[in-house]
Chain A
Amino acid sequence: MNRLDRLESQSIYILREAVATIDNIAMLWSLGKDSNTMIRLAQKAFFGRMPFPLLHVDTGKKFPEMYAFRDEYAKKWNINLLLQECPDISETDEDLPPAARSAARKSLGLKAAIAAHGFRGLIAGIRRDEEATRAKERVFSPRGSFGEWQPREQPPEFWNQYATDPPPGAHIRIHPLLHWTERDIWAYIQREDIPVVDLYFARDGKRYRSLGDTDITRPIESTAATIEEILDELAQTRQAERAGRLMDHESEDAFERLRVDGYM
């Protein structure tokens, strides 16, 4: 088995384990490269029939290319798509810096979706190598009844045995891509020919390395216009993947606070 085979196998195991042990789950689709990869893995794991809906928590501020992508592939992939709108920014925590407040709308929208559908498990495409607090995550990560995460009180996780039992009212976040790196994702997208939004590829010396809302996401300087070139670029770069995501960097702990409160 090669590296990508191993990663794929582990992710498929995690997805199947989630379906076997938790009732009423959904997969979060942010329309980005990681969640598209996750969809491909789920198509493989479940032989083309996904046994759960996809949930897009929509801030209404995504790039137009992303909405076009969503509508095209929801149909092509025959996806049971749930849409959840997010509340106005006035409902978010006033103590957060501006970009983090904007991002916090997504946490509120997510909570509303959980309440409306009674989800006990949510599959999310986060990775350890993205960001410091995500690095501390578990594959099966229990959330409190308000969606909050307690990084210091995480259960042990070993030998493919996971914390599959959320307490009443709470849910489990399932992270099938936790052990992948950004390069692994691109290498897999290349191997499997997974469609992604064009914004990832350089135009006029810039490209988006990570996609979020239009108002809080910035492109990086880049000439990488193909997957091959992106893989080369990643081998060289010293910049963090989420450098263009403003809410991560406003203050030292802004992103950690977002995550503790239920952000992905």
Chain B
Amino acid sequence: MPSSQNLPPLHFVLIGHVDHGKSSLIGRLLHDADALPHGKKDAMEEMCKRRGVTFQWAFLMDALQAERDQGVTIDSAWIRFNSHGREYILIDAPGHERFVRNMITGAERADAALLVIDAQEGLQEQSFRHGFLLHLMGVRQLGVVINKMDLVGYDAARFNALEKEIREYFERLDIDPVAIIPVSAVEGDNIVRHSANMPWYKGASVLEALQNFQARGESVDLPLRFPVQDVYRNDTQRILVGRIESGQMQVGEELLFSPSNQTATLASIENHPGENPAQAQAGRCVGITLKEKIFIERGELVSHSKNPPVESDVFRARIFWLAQTPLRTGDVCELRLANTRIPADIENIEWVVDPASLQRNQADNIQANEIGEIIIRARTILAFDPFDENTNTGRFILARDKQIQGGGTISMQGYTDRRLTRRATNITRVPHHVTIDERARRIGHKNGVLWFTGLSGAGKSTLALTLERRLYEQGFQVFVLDGDNLRYGLNADLGFSPEDRAENIRRAFEVAGLFSRAGMLVITAFISPYASDRTRAREVIGDSFREIHIHADIEVCKERDPKGLYEKARSGEIREFTGISAPYETPKNPDLTIDTAANNIEECVEKLLAYIEAEFRL
């Protein structure tokens, strides 16, 4: 048994089509790696002789399964063995389609994968699907075993052709297989020792490839992430418990709690009764106490103020779906992210992938065992990390009817971290001595913000400026805030990244709010593609905010293209252009919708004037 008690064991998953020789490979590998109990194979051969059947390596597996030997223990999916002082846990993934959920259950913490392919049959649909799924789950170390080389005469040309096909496929997933190994499990070629039958192959044997895989271990070097699992109260203190998912913490440090955005000092680390280390790191389940009294619940994510997690209610996700009932656009699921459970809307299904071609197809649902990309909007702000940056806090599951139905990994591509645009705390507003009602009585109308949102070319600026003139003539104190004009001055420091776009909008609605509080009627003309930004504008501005959707189909807008921007987006000159390469989130419940394709400018202005008369005239 293990001589290397402190090395994390290497979990690797064996995937492949049903008849491509997985069991034989396992039997042979355990034998050649000297991991089988002594005499096991001789006894098997003896028994086969008695019964008049030919010995097969796969029999060894069955025998071990039945006997549950101490040397090699076999679960339904896990085989533990030791070789050269290292512990390996081989996860045997069921080949059948309907066992995908078992395969995920088994493979969830695989460090690496070995894909077994029959040299005669080549890559099969199932191999692609499993490979893609493991990639989605974050398994990046891959070895490919081309089995049954003896049946193709140890043909180098056949191997080279398969190798090329495999490399091309995995290149598209950004996976570079550490080894592609021609073997014969039955003959023992290249399993542990190099084979004389294939002198043309100079690479690693299967066991050598395994030895080169790294076990993931604990993510000590990443920023601190400590999701609060529970809060225990005793007579004297409140202990927050949880597992440190990454990084480390030190007594005396300041900790940041997200999404509540509170800070407190780490007073003590409570391991077990009477054990209070000054420092704790990833992998440990600990309790902590705080110096300051703040209200914290299960679900908060603890970090340092430097390198905090992302905060957002909306994000992009690659998901795999396991339930028989497909996931559809508009569905509501329970999102379970670390220790948070929150209702979330499936806002859009971007695409569903064909695992063989990696082609992304349009779809309005994701079926059982399919992989797709979706946009999820949670009902509250969440704290998390993009999966690429922190695996443990960048993944989630989706449940419906309290059943786990799918899982996914988070990307913030096209979306912005709301933490970056949060306002400072501890600031109190100074009250004015002139009330907003007094201002309205003097001016003759109520104050307000008419927030025009819509695609570029929908007619926002044209309508805003025409309306401004007409309202002015009717005695309104009115002013248009135009996106381009603000970018000349106040927002001249901002570009077009998702973060800068969000900041651009934030400054715009703050300014609009100030003008409005001064008693004026403000008309804004910003694309403002994200529902979350418009919601924030409404939160900040308050009751006088009106969301007005200036609507025209994207085709109409492309046709108009008053600034030549669609052409530039099409040619790739402009990246992340709304409607082309960045999302426009159509308002769900706007206060007013103006259809500029169905109505001419005059008709649109009349509708707006009627609305304003009714809503704002005293």
Contacts and interface: CB of A to CB of B under 8 A. Distances in A.
Genuine A/B complex = yes
A213 interface: no
A97 interface: no
A156 B70 contact: no
B65 A16 contact: no
Interface of A: 1-6, 9, 12-13, 16-17, 19-20, 43-49, 128-129, 131-132, 135-136, 138, 154-159, 161, 163, 165, 181-183, 234-235, 237-240
B285 A1 contact: no
A45 B285 contact: yes
Interface in B364-381: none
Interface string B392-416: 0001110000111001000000000
Given A135-B75, A136-B75, A238-B67, 10 more contacts: A3-B9, A47-B232, A47-B270, A129-B68, A132-B65, A132-B68, A135-B78, A156-B101, A158-B397, A235-B1
Given A155-B403, A165-B402, A2 B285 contact: no
Nearest to B403: A155
21 contacts: A1-B284, A3-B2, A5-B283, A16-B285, A19-B230, A44-B271, A44-B272, A47-B239, A47-B273, A132-B66, A135-B74, A135-B78, A155-B101, A155-B404, A156-B104, A156-B404, A157-B404, A158-B104, A161-B407, A183-B1, A238-B69
A49 B237 CA distance: 14
Interface residues of B, number: 52
B284 A234 contact: no
Interface string B63-103: 00111111101111010100000000000000000000110
Contacts of A183: 1
Contacts of B404: 155-157, 161, 163
A181 to B, nearest CB: 7
B336 interface: yes
Nearest to A240: B68
Contacts of A46: 232
B428 interface: no
B234 interface: yes
Contacts of B403: 155, 163
B509 to A, nearest CB: 38
Given A9-B284, A235-B1, A161 B104 contact: no
A112 B285 CA distance: 35
Nearest to B38: A238
Given A1-B218, A20-B298, A46-B232, A159 B67 contact: no
Nearest to B69: A238
Given A183-B1, A235-B1, A238-B69, A12 B105 contact: no
Contacts of A129: 68, 73, 75
B135 interface: no
B1 A3 contact: no
Given A3-B2, A136-B76, A13 B273 contact: no
The 5 closest A-B pairs by CB, nearest first: A135-B75, A158-B108, A165-B402, A156-B101, A44-B272
